[in-house]
Amino acid sequence: MSPADRSRRLNLQQRSAMAGEAAAAAAEVEVALDHPVDPTSAAFFDVDNTIMQGASIFHLARGLHRRKFFTTRDILGAAWMQLYFRVAGVEDPEHVAEARNSALSFIAGHTVAELESLGEEIFDEGMAHRIWPGTRALAQLHLDEGQRVWLVTAAPIEIAQIIARRLGLTGAMGTVSEHLDGIYTGRLVGDMLHGPAKSEAILALAAREGLDLARCSAYSDSVNDLPMLGLVGDPCAINPDAKLRAHARAHGWRIHDYRTGRKAARAGLLVSAVAGAAAGAVVAGGSLRRRAGG
């Protein structure tokens, strides 16, 4: 590896660490379990295609566009840039990160309060009915066991916290967009909360809250979340993509699939691609250790 490549990789690692630390710092305890029965054990849930059918960022983007939060040109230009990187197979993560950050400039000048207020409305109209009942029941099992439950998602922290609050979960960690005096600058704090950044966020939260990760659980649909799933003693694949399903089977992980048919599975792949595109445009165990097949 050349010195330039090592420098880029270090820079990416630093941005992932910064994104994780920012997400953990922003994670607020909401309404659930002020005094958990099991304070060292918790559960972490991805959102898109895990808690919610489809991509939360897509539903948020559509709702914001309807409310003139940004123009059609804004979202199409940014989404096209992201979709190109995914479909063309460009693997340089620094280029992808640069594209994501460049797509955030149009939210500059909007207020955090504005996004939070609109997010509440958009959850009611476009997200509430898309929550997977099966995954919601799994989260409730953890709460009933006296464990805290956090969402961990690449979606904006503002919408992640709304989803967590509406579902009665402990809190959420998501992508943090920089803002000054309550106004977005159009830049991210670190990077998207994606892949390795999620594991950094969980590590930071575990250190802060005194969690024993060997006693914690994590749930996701995507092979991209292996860094997060590999941190805990009880990983579980929910509506998994093909690679995650194969990995979960090979390692004896629990698998639950709440979709119906091959068509839904293929649709999930497309939604994931579009979600990644839209993200840049909008963002700034106890009894649960049972092994079950989906």
Catalytic residues: 46, 48
Please report the sign of the dihedral spanned by the C-alpha atoms of residue 86, residue 62, residue 239, residue 224. positive
**Residue 150: C-alpha distances to residues 32, 200, 241, 247, 251 (Å):** 10, 14, 22, 24, 24
On whether the CB atoms of residues 70 and 278 are closer than 8 A, the answer is no
Q: Which of 155, 138, 132 is nearest to 50 (CA)?
A: 132
Q: Give the count of beta carbons closer than 10 Å to the beta carbon of residue 113.
A: 11
User: In angstroms, rounded to a whole number, what is the distance separating the alpha carbons of residues 202 and 60?
Assistant: 24
**Chain length of the chain:** 294
Long-range residue pairs from 110-115, CB within 8 A, at least 24 positions apart, any chain: 110/69, 110/183, 110/184, 111/182, 111/183, 111/184, 112/158, 112/179, 112/182, 112/183, 112/184, 113/182, 114/69, 115/64, 115/69, 115/156, 115/158, 115/159, 115/184
Burial category of 287 from C-beta neighbours within 10 Å (exposed 0-12, middle 13-18, buried 19 and up): exposed
Q: Tokens standing for 114?
A: 């504005």
